[in-house]
Structure 1
Amino acid sequence: MILTDTHTHLYYEQDAIKRAGLIQRCRKNGIDRLFLPNVDAASVAQVYDLVNVHPDMCFPMLGLHPCSVKEGWKDELAIIRESKQQHKIYAIGEIGIDLYWDKTTLGIQVQAFKQQIAWAKELKLPIVIHCRDAFNEVFEVLEQEQDENLRGIFHCFTGNAEQAQKVISLGFYLGIGGVVTYKNAGLDKILPSIDLSHIVLETDSPYLTPVPHRGKPNESSYLIYIAQKVAEVYQTDIQTVATITTANSKQIFGV
């Protein structure tokens, strides 16, 4: 069984011994593929450091997180764009719009989002979208930019059934994480109406820790709990979930 964590910030852990433990627990639970999004120019080196140590299981993505789109964002983007030449990358991400923390930056968030979508099209790469309190704003951009080269993952999907179908209609996959294990989140009611061929699994570690470890820092090895819950929701076995969602990730990332 091979599980794929399509979105993890495992590189945040800088202690070599603790990080080795995180990787070891992943391998023990069959999580053998980790896709790493940076969040700003400074975190690019952290992503690459982990990729260099574990090239067989760690795959880099590059982008400017919407919460990092502030004064000087164009300079940040230039640095990130230049750094992509150091490694093969597998997606542009995470990118998008976040209106939870700061609504005043919406204009420049949209500019940065569109510029990075253009990069992805130029490089023929998928995008990985961060969307918080901004579904309509994100979807407006996606509809404007829609063409045969626009594809990717709607990271940390927590929307309703109608929103899920809109995402799928544009050819995007739904990133399902720890929220699916939360009792009142409602994702377990929505997913049965969505075929497994449209979802991928993720942890977003160290955030959004699944039950039974909710309240503690998340880690990629906990993807096993997300996969188990998804299997329960779809009334199937974890092997089937692993096979289909990993195949979906290979379809998206090309690896």
Structure 2
Amino acid sequence: MTYIDSHAHVFSPEFLQDREEMLQRALDAHVAEVYMPNIDLASIPAMLEIEKNHPWCHALLGLHPCHVFQDYKEVLAEMEEWLERRPFKGIGETGLDYYWDKTFVQEQKEALRIQCGWAKRLQIPIVLHTRDAFPDTLEIIREQQDGTLRGIFHCFSGSVEEAQAAVDVNFLLGIGGVSTFKNGGLEPVLQAIDLKHIVLETDSPYLAPVPKRGRRNEPAYLPYVAARISEIKSCTLDEVAAVTTANAQNLFA
């Protein structure tokens, strides 16, 4: 039984003191691969250093919506140079976030469109962050969908109808620690959506699952998410691991 963590910021400063031990704990927990979504230019060197030393940790490249400001075009131009320099496993994380600040909403939308273009041109998946912005994110994905765009709605926490809409545009749902929360609200979604549309994630160092809630999250906690999904869907843990691992492998192949 092996797992894939489709979304973990293991390059984050929160792991500065024990990064090697944390990565070993992931392997010990049968997490065979970790995908690392980039957030801005500053996070690229640390991410690439981890990938160099741990080839089972894979780098993505993208501009997080909370890091989209007036200079977003210049930042994206530098990121595009990185894309020409070396391969990345995907684009992201990108998307729309209206929770913290709506000052740069139009810039976020344009940045998302640009990064969708990268994903289509390079034929790699895109990882979407959407917070209080699902309708607008979905609208842009529908607009950009040409039959080749694929990816993940990361940290999905919407309704059954929104989940089905994401599936209908050829995207997977990233399910993490929120699924284990008493009031996480994901039970109806997990009951309604087939496992073939789901990938596991931790979003480390954030959103640690029960029984680790309130602590720093890490990929070794991924089995808690898988166990909760198996409970909700009344299937075996082996089945959750096998199907979600295959989904991630097929997406990032």
TM-score, length basis structure 2: 0.97
Decide whether aligned partners of structure 1 residues 111 and 233 sit closer, same or farther in structure 2, where only a CA change above 3 A counts.
same
Partner of 1:29: 29
**RMSD of aligned C-alpha atoms?**
1.2
Partner of 2:183: 184
SS in 1 for 2:18: helix
SS in 2 for 1:11: coil
Decide whether aligned partners of structure 1 residues 15 and 113 sit closer, same or farther in structure 2, where only a CA change above 3 A counts.
closer
SS in 2 for 1:207: coil
Tell whether the 8 Å contact from 1:92 to 1:120 is kept in structure 2 after alignment: yes
Give the C-alpha shift of residue 196 in structure 1: 0.3
Partner of 1:11: 11
* 196-205 or 139-148, larger mean C-alpha shift: 139-148
Partner of 1:46: 46
Decide whether aligned partners of structure 1 residues 14 and 204 sit closer, same or farther in structure 2, where only a CA change above 3 A counts.
closer
Give the C-alpha shift of residue 242 in structure 1: 0.7
Give the C-alpha shift of residue 16 in structure 1: 6.2
Partner of 2:233: 234
Partner of 2:200: 201
Verify: 1:75 aligned to 2:74, yes or no: yes
Tell whether the 8 Å contact from 2:199 to 2:244 is kept in structure 1 after alignment: yes
Partner of 1:161: 160
Alignment of structure 1 residues 39-188 onto 2, 5 Å:
39-55=39-55, 57-188=56-187
Tell whether the 8 Å contact from 2:199 to 2:245 is kept in structure 1 after alignment: yes
SS in 1 for 2:157: coil
Tell whether the 8 Å contact from 1:44 to 1:80 is kept in structure 2 after alignment: no
What amino acid maps onto 1:25 in structure 2?
R
Structure 2: any 5+ residue segments left out of the alignment? none
Q: Percent identity?
A: 44
Tell whether the 8 Å contact from 1:44 to 1:83 is kept in structure 2 after alignment: no
C-alpha distance in 1, partners of 2:42/2:122?
Answer: 22
SS in 1 for 2:41: coil
Give the C-alpha shift of residue 131 in structure 1: 0.2
SS in 1 for 2:35: strand
Tell whether the 8 Å contact from 1:13 to 1:19 is kept in structure 2 after alignment: no
Partner of 2:251: 252
What amino acid maps onto 1:62 in structure 2?
L
Structure 1: any 5+ residue segments left out of the alignment? none
Give the C-alpha shift of residue 14 in structure 1: 7.2
C-alpha distance in 2, partners of 1:182/1:80?
Answer: 36
C-alpha distance in 1, partners of 2:217/2:107?
Answer: 31
Decide whether aligned partners of structure 1 residues 208 and 14 sit closer, same or farther in structure 2, where only a CA change above 3 A counts.
closer
| Runs of 4+ in structure 1 over 6 Å off | none
Decide whether aligned partners of structure 1 residues 15 and 196 sit closer, same or farther in structure 2, where only a CA change above 3 A counts.
closer
SS in 1 for 2:217: coil
Map Cα deviations across residues 55-108 of structure 1 (whole Å, 9 max, x no partner). 1x1111100000000121111111111123444211101010000011121100
What amino acid maps onto 1:154 in structure 2?
F
Map Cα deviations across residues 105-130 of structure 1 (whole Å, 9 max, x no partner). 11000010000100111111111000
Aligned length: 253
* 152-161 or 185-194, larger mean C-alpha shift: 185-194
Map Cα deviations across residues 152-172 of structure 1 (whole Å, 9 max, x no partner). 100000000000000001110
Decide whether aligned partners of structure 1 residues 120 and 15 sit closer, same or farther in structure 2, where only a CA change above 3 A counts.
closer
What amino acid maps onto 2:22 in structure 1?
L
Map Cα deviations across residues 140-181 of structure 1 (whole Å, 9 max, x no partner). 111111111111100000000000000001110000000000
TM-score, length basis structure 1: 0.96
